[in-house]
Amino acid sequence: MVERPEVLEGKTYKRKTPCGTAYITLCGNDSVKEVFAVLGKSGTCERAMLEAISRLLSKGLEYNIPAEELRLTISGINCGEAFVGSRSCVHQLADVMKKYIEPVKEEGNAEEENAK
């Protein structure tokens, strides 16, 4: 299990989904360490499930499961509310994770290249 630092930087992304607006926050100083996701609608099953998924993602990160592996696990999950061409709130969460994870990887690769 990874010890959580006292302070983590984070970014929140606002995404439209068929179930409402999702607010997805990814935290970490050099890589993703915590995930928070909620839907703007309170009291819905979708909001509860999205929060549960984000908690499970955070727990996986706490136990050193790579963020990319977790992202791939939830990638492509859609629901009955998603119409053709739209993405469910879970799929949006995977998309945001991908956008956050890739720049961290690229920065790491650039540092490795500079060290050579």
pLDDT tier, 84 (very low <50, low <70, confident <90, very high otherwise): low
| Tokens of residue 22, six digits | 């999702």
Residue 1 lies in a domain: no
Residue 111 lies in a domain: yes
Residue 2 lies in a domain: no
Domain count along the chain = 1
Residue 100 amino acid letter: Y
Q: Could you report the per-residue pLDDT of 5-34, keeping only the tens digit for each? A: 889 999 898 988 877 888 989 898 888 889
Residue 5 lies in a domain: no
Q: How far apart are CA 58 and CA 20, in angstroms?
A: 23
Give DSSP secondary structure letters for 19-74. Answer: TEEEEEEEE-SSS--EEEEEESSTT-HHHHHHHHHHHHHHHHHHTT--HHHHHHHH
- The reported pTM is 0.74
Residue 69 lies in a domain: yes
Residue 77 lies in a domain: yes
Statement: residue 59 has pLDDT above 90: yes
Residue 14 lies in a domain: yes
| Domain extent for 74 | 10-115
Average pLDDT over residues 52-75: 89
Residue 76 lies in a domain: yes
Q: What is the mean pLDDT of the chain?
A: 78
pLDDT of residue 47: 86
